[in-house]
Amino acid sequence: MTSSPGWPPRPRSPSPTPHPVRIRTGSRRKNSIPTSSCCSGRPAIWRNANSCPGWPTWSSPRWRPRSGWSARHWRTSAATSSGRWREAVDAFGSHELSDEEWEGFACRISYVPQSAGPEALADAVKAAKAELGPDTRRLHYLSVPPKAAKAVITMLKESGLVDRSRVVMEKPFGTDLASACELNAFVHDTFDESQIFRIDHFLGKEAAQNILAFRFANGLFEPIWNRNFIDHIQIDIPEKLGLDERADFYESTGAYKDMVVTHLFQVMAFVVMEPPTALEPRAISEEKNKVFRSMLPVDPAKVIRGQYVGYRREDGVAPDSETETFIALQVGIDNWRWAGVPIYLRTGKKMAEGQRIISIAFREAPRSMFPAGSGVGSQGPDHLTFDLADNSKVSLSFYGKRPGPGMKLDKLSMQFSTQETGRVGDVLEAYERLILDAMRGDHTLFTTAAGIESLWDRSTPLLEDPPPVKVYQPGTWGPNAIHQLIAPNAWRLPFEREWREKTPE
């Protein structure tokens, strides 16, 4: 998760007790289903500032006919909370809201403190339903950790707020197989799987969704999207940020549980899954789950765990902590398409750059006709690179002739960015897209109980026998051992050439 410089620190919570539940009320529009939304937990700007813009976006008249929507609550005073929320929208939103649009959203915010109990929550929801009509749906957004989620779900059940409802849950979805199964069983005791939306904001990004379009809408790459033509795959998500005052959370999770299981493996599934029978949630979820079932158990010998120098001096961190702030690993998919193709994943805190890339390395030609010194192969294999940043870039690198006499080759690239399409204004921030999909009941970009449990099952060898952490200096690319992990290949990051920026008109 990223935040802007100077963003207010999140206050610590003394216990996992859930904070007050908030409600949303909205207005009708033709061909839309009115929705009242309840958000449980700390105000989202404290827990996840990036999620804030999604709510007022769908309240705006520009978007409301598409979504139906509603409004939301705060646990602090209305003036303080509304101002902080507006700051988050301005900092992280993809669409600028006018003062009029903001006021149209803010006036719908109401507040129910947790201490008021289930009856007060039920009364508030009834009031929203009376305003919106009998067809109103409910969207419950649980911005709380798993322990607190159980208490909130119990309150929703006691309040009679389960029917015609959907519930959005944030990571982590357990910390191992047993806890994931236990959490899923608890939630399923109240909500059906079709009502549950486990959110992963990486899958809400335009670039992640573009992987599906790139693969399955074009005949160019899918025929070579297999072990015969692809040498290896890299999914690399380094972060420059540190803990951001999340030591209490991070000490019990670490980089693998926080990022790999909930984010990197989900992105990997889009890259390697088989073509779905249709572009609809059930078909896509089934293909993703097949990937997770086909994944080989994570081998601790192919994992590098790191910890940046100074981590143990952070407030809330044990002086002898073995929690990893960095992890790099090699995994494999045991099926006909991908057998023998290594997939390398890397993520960590306080690294040299903040990047989010997927790199597909193609096999080199079996024999070169070019003379020694021509340059072929000197800059690595051909790569197809997806940049998951907001600009949604794609690059294809290959060798081409250098202008001039003789036959000298250089690495060239073709690049594409959403900035060059003329439709930049249509790009949605990840949470804007995911909140809309949850309102619509579209599970395409959300994870399933079966998928999460499969991933924790494949993670068991690593969780039971993790290798010791290796230190690395802040501002670097991790421990030196990462190069042995990927040898004889090399990490795609840092890029030798910068992305081409759009030429000013």
53 and 150 in a single domain? The answer is: yes
In a domain, 257, yes or no: yes
Query: For position 392, what pLDDT does the model report?
Result: 76
**pTM (2 decimals)?**
0.84
Query: For position 115, what pLDDT does the model report?
Result: 72
In a domain, 401, yes or no: no
Chain segment 365-387, per-residue pLDDT in tens = 877 777 777 767 667 788 999 99
Chain segment 211-225, per-residue pLDDT in tens = 998 899 999 899 999
Q: Domain range spanning residue 99?
A: 21-170
In a domain, 418, yes or no: no
Inter-CA distances, 498 with 2, 211, 413, 494, 501, Å: 22, 22, 11, 9, 9
Residues in Cβ contact with 459 at an 8 Å cutoff, skipping those fewer than 6 apart: 176, 177, 256, 261, 297, 298
Residue 502 has pLDDT above 70, yes or no: no
Residue 256 has pLDDT above 80, yes or no: yes
Query: For position 229, what pLDDT does the model report?
Result: 97
165 and 49 in a single domain? The answer is: yes
Residue of 19, 140, 263, 383 marked active site: 263
117 and 219 in a single domain? The answer is: no
Query: For position 503, what pLDDT does the model report?
Result: 52
Dihedral angle computed from the Cα positions of residues 224, 227, 228 and 232, in that order, rounded to the nearest 10 degrees:
90
Q: What is the largest CA-CA distance in the chain?
A: 83
Q: How many domains does the chain have?
A: 2
75 and 212 in a single domain? The answer is: no
Provide the annotated binding site.
Answer: 66, 171, 201, 205, 239, 258, 349
Separation CA 44–CA 74 (nearest Å): 9
207 and 132 in a single domain? The answer is: no
Chain segment 130-162, per-residue pLDDT in tens = 777 777 888 888 877 777 888 889 988 988 889
Q: What percent of the chain has pLDDT above 90?
A: 44
| Last residue within a domain, chosen from 123, 147, 170 | 170
Of 222-231, 315-324, 385-394, the poorest mean pLDDT is in 385-394
Provide the annotated binding site for NADP(+).
Answer: 66, 171
49 and 162 in a single domain? The answer is: yes
48 and 157 in a single domain? The answer is: yes
79 and 158 in a single domain? The answer is: yes
Grade residue 306 by pLDDT with cuts at 50, 70 and 90.
Answer: very high
Q: Please, what is the average pLDDT of the chain?
A: 80
Separation CA 201–CA 259 (nearest Å): 11
In a domain, 277, yes or no: yes
245 and 109 in a single domain? The answer is: no
One-letter amino acid at 493 equals L
69 and 139 in a single domain? The answer is: yes
Chain segment 48-103, per-residue pLDDT in tens = 445 554 555 555 555 443 443 443 333 333 444 556 666 666 666 666 677 777 77
263 is catalytic: yes
Chain segment 162-199, per-residue pLDDT in tens = 998 999 998 889 999 999 999 999 999 999 999 999 99
304 and 351 in a single domain? The answer is: yes
- CA 445 and chain centroid, separation: 10
φ, ψ dihedrals at 23, nearest 5°: -120, 155
Residue 41 maps to which CATH number? 3.40.50.720
In a domain, 374, yes or no: no
Residue 269 maps to which CATH number? 3.30.360.10
Which pair of structure tokens corresponds to residue 4? 């802007």
Residue 349 has pLDDT above 60, yes or no: yes
Query: For position 444, what pLDDT does the model report?
Result: 92
| Last residue within a domain, chosen from 170, 186, 220 | 170
Q: Containing H/E element for 331?
A: strand 326-331
Which one, of 244, 364, 217, lies nearest residue 315 by Cα? 244
In a domain, 333, yes or no: yes
Query: For position 488, what pLDDT does the model report?
Result: 93
Residues in Cβ contact with 458 at an 8 Å cutoff, skipping those fewer than 6 apart: 292, 295, 296, 297, 298
